[in-house]
Amino acid sequence: MTERHLYQQLLTAPNLLTCFRFVSAPVLLWLAWHGHEKAFLLLAVTFLSDALDGFVARRTGQVSEFGAILDSWADVVTYSTIALCAWWLWPAVVSREALYVALVIGSYLLPAAVGLFRFGRFTSYHTRAVKLAAVLMAASLFLLFLGGPARPFRFAALVCTAAALEEIAITLVIDRFRTNIRGIFEVIGKNPGD
């Protein structure tokens, strides 16, 4: 494979959308550290790039294992950044919702830890449940931080927990590292190596 061909495979529209989350992280940290709540909320639309990159990859036929892994790393950076920034900007809200915050953090850390233990890398399944959880979490966080009710955030935290349990189950069922698995039923009953 030539160097030019390799760049064409790596520098795709979905991968560039994913990279936007890496670039946004230090800006989000700076905004939160300096107390710019409204600007932080505007830039936190990086959540949208999480939904868009996979959609663009599927629509353009640019789905790849590299893209799935890159997306998983961007998720780690984005969600860690937003959690830290939320603690800096809205400490009272984070304290009040500590149980649900812990559920959300655990729903990202536990599947990653199980994947690292089992396969030596982060899981990159991008299940339907995880996608739903991400959309619900993004919407509920905006609502919560704008002074809205906590119920949507709490519900999203429970959906994140259920999605994490599914990811852990997938990791325990499959016999080799795979990416882009829609859900547990996709892997149950398949022959090893499929």
> pLDDT digits over 23-40, tens only?
889 999 999 999 998 888
Q: Residue 134: how many CB atoms within 10 A of its CB?
A: 22
Q: Can you tell me the distance from the alpha carbon of 73 to that of 18, in angstroms, rounded to the nearest whole number?
A: 9
Comparing C-alpha atoms, which of 49, 50, 141, 48 is closest to residue 93?
141
Q: Can you tell me the distance from the alpha carbon of 166 to that of 159, in angstroms, rounded to the nearest whole number?
A: 11
Q: Which of 47-51, 64-68, 90-94, 98-102 has the lowest mean pLDDT?
A: 47-51
Comparing C-alpha atoms, which of 149, 165, 184 is closest to residue 106?
165
Quote the percentage of the chain above a pLDDT of 70.
90
| Local confidence band at 89 (pLDDT 50, 70, 90 cut-offs) | very high
Residue 2 pLDDT > 80: no
Convert the pLDDT of each residue in 123-156 to its tens digit.
Answer: 888 899 998 998 899 889 989 998 999 999 999 9
In the numeric block, which tokens belong to residue 56? 């663009």
Residue corresponding to tokens 């061909």:
5
Which pLDDT score, from 0 to 100, does residue 132 have? 92
Q: Is 158 or 141 the better-scoring residue by pLDDT?
A: 158
